[in-house]
Structure 1
Amino acid sequence: MHKVHKGLAAEGAGLAGDRVVAAGSAARVLVAATARALRGLDCADLGHPGPVSRFPGAPEPVRRAAVTRAAGRVALTVAQVDEVDAARVARWFVEQYPRQRYPGVLLGSPHGATAHLAMALGVPWLPAGFEMTVHWTDGAVDRPGAALEHGAALAPRLLAGNADLHLRQVHCPASRGSLAGATVSLAARWRALPAAYAQFLADRLLPGAPVLLLRDVRTWPVLERGAGHDFQMGCPGSGLDPVDFHPDSHALRQVLRSAGGDAARWQPPEVSATAGYAEHGVDSGFELTTRHWAASREHPMHRVLVPRPAALSAAVADLYRGWLRAAGKTGDRLVVECGRLLDPWQVVRAGLVPYWCENATRRAVDEAEWWLAGSEAFSSVDVLPEPPGVRSPALAGLPQWLAVAGFGRRRRALDRTAARGYPVTSVPTRRATEVLRTQPYDLPAPPPLGVDEALAVLRDSGGNQGLLVS
């Protein structure tokens, strides 16, 4: 059983928040990292090595078996689905933050740059949803139709006690590997501002403090299954396109082979797909109720629409460079983070500029290279490539990561621990902390940015990349 940290689990019925929210999921990691940064702490206690990290030379069948066993230890059992309480999850998120008054708040889609933006502003970040994984005992990575049926049986039980949720089931062997055949992944979105969030904002925001809503507006084909439950095969984070999940796709055959499946058995559900926001989108009801709450209490609200992760990553990196230089620092040292490998506190402590890659796909790394090519050169570039734990034709190779580090004029560093066994091993979040702790101190930290100043930079820097700030 996953350990429940004292003081983080709220009182009430149902499972504790840290038992419900998937281990290693984006919302979980980003809340933990942001809350620690606002306390002046790093991420040295976050994450633990996955089982495959201890066997870098293990054969693929052994590796897949180890991954499946590990997933079984942390995923919800089918019986525990009835004990999920989304209200308790919301309380768990807000209770991780220091009890103080804040000059603003960030809400919405998970994105690593939001943790850095929150740190620069001195404000909390709260997700508009969370992810869960549930056992699928007779599952198979190459049976998306069966995965949908299993999820359809779970959805009514989850929604019966959580009418304020919408469930997006994601079956993506390209990003989850063999885990897609051992568990089902459910991305839960709140359809309204949770009561715990509303109370937190009422108690902790300074008068007139702005509310910023960040929305991931990437789209993906979605299969409507029933009230409150829909399904998507693949995801934008896989680095593949929707067409790549067709049975005749060469990329799909490669993915399934590495995950222990067979493309000949891949049969998509017989349901027509329509375009919709992908799994990290924000429910329209969440935005409407947040806007109503803010207006009724005279808190200005702004939206930041993110068409692709790199647009926000580049804008926040540019923001940090200007913020550091305004405080008399060089703003000349870059760290390229990836996935869960980030540490907002250590970045500020060392006076670094952070650029976050959503994952280790070629698409994400290409965009980091394009941004670097168009930016003023950095004296040093440190690169933290998170091994995804799976094989896929969409992944960037180590030479491409080395090319990113090569943009540094004097220092060019690729973390060897993360690179060892790449791409199929795993490293914990705290590995980023271990690497960044070796950077020289550059204190004191700059004074917090004002929200209006930050929005102006995001408009100016992100506008040509499609970032929309309103």
Structure 2
Amino acid sequence: MAADARVPADGAVPADRVVTADSIGGVLVDVTARAVAGRAADDLGEPTVVSRARGFAAAAEDEALARGAARVALSVEDCKRIDTDAVAARIVGQYPDQPYPAVVLGSPHGAAAHLATTLGVPWLPAGFELTVRWPDGAVDDPEAAQRHGAACASALLGANPDVSVRQVHDPVVRGPAAGTTISLFVRWRRLPPAYRRLLGRIRPGGFALTVADSRTWPVFGLGGGHSFQLGGPTSGLAAAEYVRPGPDLVQALRRADGDPHAWLPPAVPPLRGLGEHAPEPGFEADLRDWPAEVRRHRIAVARPGALSAAVAQTVRAWLVESGKTGDRLAVGCGRLLDPGQVLRCGLVPYWCEAPLREEVAEAEIWVAGSPPFRSIDVLIEPPGRPSAVVAPLRQWDAVAWFSSQRAAVDRVGTRSYPYGTLPTRHASVVLAELRDDLPLPAPLTPGTALERLRRYGEPVGLVVD
């Protein structure tokens, strides 16, 4: 395998083409690497055709977006030429080559990116998402999607035996693109060589903090190299709504010219497993076996809001102890976050995984139970679809209304809500308008962060080993 993503193995797909543009894991690497290097994320590009096709556009645009998503996706033949070690090397290569007091690894979570930024250390994902073309695909045929995904996974696994492939077929989240492309989550079974080299740069007595998404979901083919999910925890729907189509799935299928009556899950019963973002057991086992001079801890996340609340409280305490006010809050959502700008402004960060009623309600409860914030800025990533599970704008407004002086909900994100798509750099543009709170404090120490994550996380169900 190639050791450097900039010099791919003969015939290998360049590493920067492999990871799905605007996938949450890719975005978190982009923003955290810039923050650790002391830069804003205002250079990140516009949303790609893949991201625009994830949700729903105007009806006349749906078919064109789905075709466009297929054009920029990888082919089955490309899967044979993917070098997952090169992808890991490209991720590591975005961070400064220097010693670190810690590394944060694991499942993609915006609060983990904020935590890593506050510590001044890299965040490394336990896997990555890629998108593959599905010629003659059908959004309403999950069995056909599984067969095509198995062929793609076989091609990829043949060249990369140290990974697993989790396929997610979700017309609700991906919209019409679910009928022209398939989405594969590639997860390392072992620490890739580039990660090992970076972990070797942790100072003696430093920390490796693993964030592990512990949400479960029915999985077909659990235990093999290729496994398959219908929907997932990030949709906001119950798993049963993907078996007997609920209103959201029916609407998604109809918008993509699919037939809800043709929808048939795979015949083999699924097993209850961990969702697509959970690290592989072997990946975590490699970390546990790391030399004793690196202290290893695991943060199990059963609800995204639990980690968001614990990190927000941890950062707030650090700001106050550093002589800052700690009374200005920034609520990010999905891909709309810029940890470097949040740090520059001396803001407390809270992250919602998606603009869902349940997620925003958790944010409301946390803000209501916290000491008052003088200002609250809210950034909303539109979900691309209307739904009973999507938070209405008045619920987002309610989060901001808890401020004692200034309540600001970004109106660019609300103009066409719940439709529309915004680039990650929009968060940088909005946050750049806020006043600086310089100089920056000395980075939070990993030991203090761990102690406070335990203290603040236990009451909300966060498990820190």
State the 1:429 CA deviation: 0.3
Return the offset for 1:367.
1.1
Out of 390-399 and 45-54, give the one that drifted further. 45-54
> Does residue 351 in structure 1 map to residue 346 in structure 2?
yes
* Paired residue secondary structure (2:80): helix
Counterpart of 1:93 (choices 91, 96, 104) is 91
Q: How does 1:44-443 map to 2 (within 5 A)?
A: 44-50=42-48, 60-202=58-200, 204-224=201-221, 227-295=224-292, 298-443=293-438
Give the letter aligned to residue 26 of structure 2.
R
Is residue 105–residue 123 contact of structure 1 (8 Å, CA) maintained in 2? Answer: yes
Pair 1:294–1:306, CA change in 2 (3 A): farther
Per the alignment, in what secondary structure is the counterpart of residue 402 of structure 2?
coil
Alignment partners' CA distance in 2, 1:69 and 1:411: 44
Distance 1:343 1:248 in 2: 37
In the aligned structure 2, how far is the partner of 1:368 from the partner of 1:94?
A: 32
How far apart are residue 265 of structure 1 and its match? 1.4
Cα distance in structure 2, aligned partners of 1:94 and 1:214: 18
Q: Please name the residue that 2:439 is paired with.
A: 444
Pair 1:342–1:435, CA change in 2 (3 A): same
Question: What is the alpha-carbon distance in structure 1 between the residues aligned to residue 158 and residue 123 of structure 2?
Answer: 28
Q: 1:16, 1:150 → 2: CA distance?
A: 23
Q: Is the 8 A contact 1:336 1:354 kept in 2?
A: yes
Tell me the matched-pair count: 459
Deviation at 1:63, TM superposition (A): 2.5
SS in structure 1 of the partner of residue 290 of structure 2 = helix
Per-residue CA deviation, residues 373-431 of structure 1 (Å, 9 max, x unaligned), is 21112111111110122343321121211122222221111111111212221010000
Q: Whole-Å Cα distance in 2 between the matches of residues 239 and 226 of structure 1? A: 25
The 8 Å contact of residues 134 and 185 in structure 1, kept in 2 or not, is answered as yes
Instruction: Please give the TM-score of this superposition, normalised by the length of structure 1.
Output: 0.94
Query: In structure 1, how many angstroms separate the alpha carbons of the residues matched to 2:70 and 2:408?
Result: 36
In structure 2, what residue type is equivalent to 1:349?
Answer: R
1:270 aligned counterpart, secondary structure:
coil
Could you tell me whether the CA contact under 8 Å between 1:333 and 1:381 is conserved in 2? yes
Letter in 2 for 1:381: I
Which segment drifts farther, 59-68 or 358-367?
59-68
Contact 2:230 2:242 in 1 (8 A): yes
Preserved contact between residue 52 and residue 425 of structure 1 (Cα < 8 Å)? no
* 1:10 positional shift: 4.3
Q: 5+ residue gaps in structure 1? A: 1-6
Counterpart residue type for residue 270 of structure 1 = A
Provide the rounded CA distance (Å) in 1 between the counterparts of 2:291 and 2:406. 46
Q: Which runs of 5+ in 2 are unaligned?
A: none
**Matches of 1:259 and 1:439 in 2, distance apart?**
41
**Partner of residue 459 from structure 2, selected from 456, 461, 464:** 464
**Which amino acid in 2 is paired with 1:244?**
E
| Matched residue SS, 1:428 | coil
How far 1:30 moved relative to its partner?
Answer: 0.7
Change (3 A) 1:251 1:191: same
| Amino acid across the alignment from 1:205 | I
Give SS of 2:412's match.
Answer: helix
Distance in 2, Cα, partners of 1:407 & 1:34: 29
Structure 1's 150 and 32: CA in aligned 2 closer, same or farther, altered over 3 A? Answer: same
Q: Matches of 1:81 and 1:421 in 2, distance apart?
A: 37
Cα offset, 1:186, TM superposition: 0.4
Taking the aligned partners of 1:52 and 1:136, their CA distance within structure 2 comes to 14
Aligned-CA RMSD value: 1.9
Offset at 1:78? 2.1
The alpha-carbon distance between structure 1 residues 75 and 391, as it changes in their structure 2 partners (threshold 3 A), is farther
TM-aligned CA distance change 1:461 to 1:16, over 3 Å: same
Q: CA deviation at 1:229?
A: 0.6
Structure 1 residues 248 and 182, CA gap change in structure 2 (3 angstroms): closer
Say if 1:54 and 1:143 are closer, same or farther in 2 by CA, change over 3 A: closer
Aligned-partner residue type, residue 420 of structure 1: R
CA distance in structure 2 between the partners assigned to 1:249 and 1:323 by the alignment: 45
Equivalent-residue separation in structure 2 for 1:130 and 1:59 (angstroms):
26
Partner AA of 1:406 in structure 2:
W
Q: Answer with 247-256 or 439-448: which moved more.
A: 247-256
CA shift, 1:9, in A, is 2.7
Over 3 Å counting, the alpha-carbon distance change for 1:400 and 1:261 in structure 2 is farther
Give the Cα–Cα distance (whole angstroms) in 2 for the partners of residues 107 and 225 of structure 1. Answer: 23
Given residue 124 of structure 2, which amino acid in structure 1 is its aligned partner? L
Moved more, 338-347 or 65-74: 65-74
1:24 positional shift? 0.6
**Following the alignment from structure 1 to structure 2, what is the Cα–Cα distance between the partners of residues 231 and 326?**
47
CA distance in 2, matches of 1:331, 1:343: 18
